[in-house]
Amino acid sequence: MADPKKMALVASRTPAAKAAEAELKALYDFVPTDEADLLIALGGDGFLLQTLHAMLRKKKLKPVFGMNRGTYGFLMNEWRPQLLEARVEAAKAFSVLPLAMKAVSVKGKTHRSPAINEVSLLRETRQTALIEVSVNGRVVIPELACDGVLVATPAGSTAYNFSAQGPILPLGSKLVALTPISPFRPRRWRGAILPDDMTITLRVLDPDKRPVSAVADQFEVRQVERVEVKADRAEALTLLFDPEHALDERIAMEQFTV
């Protein structure tokens, strides 16, 4: 019989998450994060993203089993303190590829950051953004007039991307959604679905008069001139879900939510 997996516990600062943390600590043995085989994360989707980004920064990737102690918790399992070890053992694992963002500011400084949900470009002022869109070095839209544009992963396709009328992508599809935000011109362009190994380059055409910021999940760069985005296959993350609460089915079923 295999030894039980060593679990570490992390929780957001909200009262609900802290109460759940205390309850679990009274029921189970946890180890420090560096000694753990996997993490139990208590909070909402935002806290889960923070946890995953912390692992990416430290280059110490571990599977994460999240339980919802936040608001919506689309990426989380149901909060149940009972039989946690059995749930983890029976959990279904899903691989999530983050995006790698390289943003160059108007001052020439380069910023790099991963994005688990999406990379979005957003106008900073009342002026409409003007953005040139290229795929693998080929200009596909010379001038996109819009409030912004985003590149979303399958895991993030049900979030901001979906609110911007972008498509929901099946988990494991190896695709990304390229979705305009309030596009004005070209009027009939509503976005594209692309293989995730393609490099998408977004160049701001008038960054002085029409400044644009780039956001990789929660990391923002102001006044960007150019942004490159592609999937980072070297940094695959693993999320664990109860079989009856599997992420791939939840993402697929979001297409029928009314």
In sequence order, which ranges of 113-187 are alpha helices (DSSP H)? 160-163
47 assigned to a ligand binding site: no
162 assigned to a ligand binding site: yes
219 assigned to a ligand binding site: no
155 assigned to a ligand binding site: yes
117 assigned to a ligand binding site: yes
118 assigned to a ligand binding site: yes
**Helices and strands counted in the chain (H then E):** 5, 17
Residues in the chain: 258
197 assigned to a ligand binding site: no
158 assigned to a ligand binding site: yes
Among residues 45, 196, 197, 248, which one is catalytic?
45
46 assigned to a ligand binding site: yes
Residue type, 127: Q
Long-range Cβ pairs for the range 248-257 (8 Å, 24+): 248/94, 248/170, 248/171, 248/172, 250/74, 251/154, 251/155, 251/157, 251/158, 251/168, 251/169, 251/170, 251/171, 252/168, 252/170, 254/158, 254/162, 254/168, 255/168
Catalytic residue flag (residue 197): no
Burial of 74 (0-12, 13-18, 19+ CB in 10 A): middle
160 assigned to a ligand binding site: yes
Q: Which residues are annotated as a binding site for NAD(+)?
A: 45-46, 117-118, 147, 155, 158-163
Catalytic residues, by residue number, are: 45
Q: Which residues are annotated as a binding site?
A: 45-46, 117-118, 147, 155, 158-163
